[in-house]
């Protein structure tokens, strides 16, 4: 898949129940470390309560076969993460 700056991509993530019914805590693993954010369920591919799914993220930079993306919602720590273009859909 060709990934371009500004693209919306689905990133594999782990989900846990959040503080509100329409919010989840999302964890994405990357080379920069884990990224955590409180994310509304409409940004999840499957609005599950807990488990594995995908979160919609915005690509902010592309460097060869790697990209930097930003999670939606309120971050817990860094909102940006690095991934390989082969991991997105």
Query: At residue 70, what are phi and psi to the nearest 5 degrees?
Result: -125, 130
Could you tell me the residue ranges of all domains in the chain?
8-87
Mean pLDDT of the chain: 87
How many angstroms separate the CA atoms of 53 and 27, rounded?
10
Buried b (16+ CB within 10 A) or exposed e, 1-15: eebeeebebebebbb
pLDDT, one tens digit per residue, over 43-78 is 999 999 999 999 999 999 998 888 888 888 888 866
pLDDT at 31: 74
pTM (predicted TM-score) = 0.83
Cβ neighbours of 60 (radius 10 Å):
14
pLDDT value of position 66: 85
């Amino acid at each position: 898949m060709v990934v371009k700056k500004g693209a919306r991509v689905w990133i594999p993530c782990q989900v846990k129940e959040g503080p509100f019914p329409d919010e989840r805590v999302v964890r994405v693993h990357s080379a920069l470390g884990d990224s955590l954010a409180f994310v509304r369920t409409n940004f999840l591919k499957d609005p599950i309560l807990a488990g594995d799914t995908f979160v919609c993220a915005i690509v902010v930079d592309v460097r060869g076969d790697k990209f930097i993306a930003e999670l939606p919602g309120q971050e817990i720590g860094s909102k940006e993460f690095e991934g390989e273009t082969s991991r997105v859909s």
